[in-house]
Copies of this chain bind each other. A is one copy, B any other.
Amino acid sequence: MSKKNEMYRALLGKPSCTLAANIFDPLSARIAQMIGYDLLVLSGSVGKAANLAAPDVVISTLPDVQDHIRRVTRVTDIPIMVDAEDGFGNAVNVWRCVRELEAAGVSGIEIEDNVVPREFGVQNPGLHPIATQVGKLKAALAARTDPTTVIIARTAAWGIDREHAVERMKAYAATGAEAFMLTGVKSKADIEASHQAVPNIPITILAPPLGVKDDAKFCSDNNVKIIMLGNPTYLVAVKSIHDTLKFLRDGGDADALKGKQADRELAREVIRTDAFEKWQQEYLK
């Protein structure tokens, strides 16, 4: 078991809930690790935004995501879980998806059940038939070269088709998937129903309803192990880059930006200067 998979499985197994860092590139990932986060998450939307300047109507290809992740895992030592869209195609594509993401160093792979990319002009994306999705999850589990890689059943059913959400979760759980990722849950009741549907499987939630994040007992009672807050950090970065480039373009002096910049110490930590200098001292003869 790789060190990262071990760390990831520990998070899924421990009683308390972990706040993951939603990152969008190697830089934000490196900084998240410095701050002390225990888990990185790369979602599809900011992956496309930061890497391709494209909206979610375009599906990234597997190699886009894989390269993006490899750039992240290369500079970090904590585990990453990844939005692997719909597995980038059918159950045969899922096979390759799992193999490539494992090779890129991913510890948790989410396979989602909604149709991507969202069809044009359609309000709600559809969900793939349960049998199709079950086939994909089984394929994902069988495709692993490392049995400690966690396959995560991601469902959008709570936001799109609540009627059958519980039915879907039970069917997905029966494949052997080892965790769930929920999007679009509207209430604590949704979460409780989810937990009752799959009582032995850890749940991870993207953008949970208000109050969940800070309710440790609720999370513990309902097997909620990982929470993601969406991508405010990406949006803050976009604004800060925009405002700075605009300020300079409008004739501003770089010196006036000092207070807004990373100081020398932070800048050196990001690029691991001390470690590299130590390495030079030790091995460069």
* Chain A residues engaging chain B, CB cutoff 8 angstroms: 2-3, 19, 21, 25-28, 30-32, 34-37, 48-55, 57-59, 61-64, 67, 70-71, 73-75, 88-96, 99-100, 103-105, 117, 120, 129, 131-132, 134-136, 138-139, 142, 145-146, 214, 229-230, 232-233, 235-242, 244-246, 248-249, 251, 254, 257, 260-262, 266-268, 270-273, 276-277, 279-285
Smallest CB separation, A96 vs chain B (Å): 7
Q: Are A249 and B49 in contact, CB atoms less than 8 angstroms apart?
A: no
Pick from B21, B59, B229: contact of A254, CB under 8 Å: B229
Residue in B74, B103, B260 whose CB lies within 8 Å of A52: B74
Contacts of A96 in B (CB 8 A): 58
B237 lies within 8 A of A241 (CB):
yes
In the complex, which of the residues A62, A75, A244 has the most CB atoms of chain B within 10 Å of its own CB atom?
A: A244
Instruction: Describe A's contact surface by its main secondary structure.
Output: helix
A-B contacts, 25 listed (Cβ < 8 Å): A21-B248, A25-B25, A27-B49, A27-B53, A27-B237, A27-B238, A32-B245, A36-B249, A51-B71, A58-B96, A61-B61, A90-B284, A91-B279, A91-B283, A91-B285, A92-B279, A92-B280, A92-B283, A103-B104, A131-B285, A138-B283, A237-B237, A237-B240, A238-B270, A240-B260
- The smallest C-beta distance from A1 to any residue of chain B, in angstroms, reads 10
* Interchain CB contact under 8 A, B270 and A53: yes
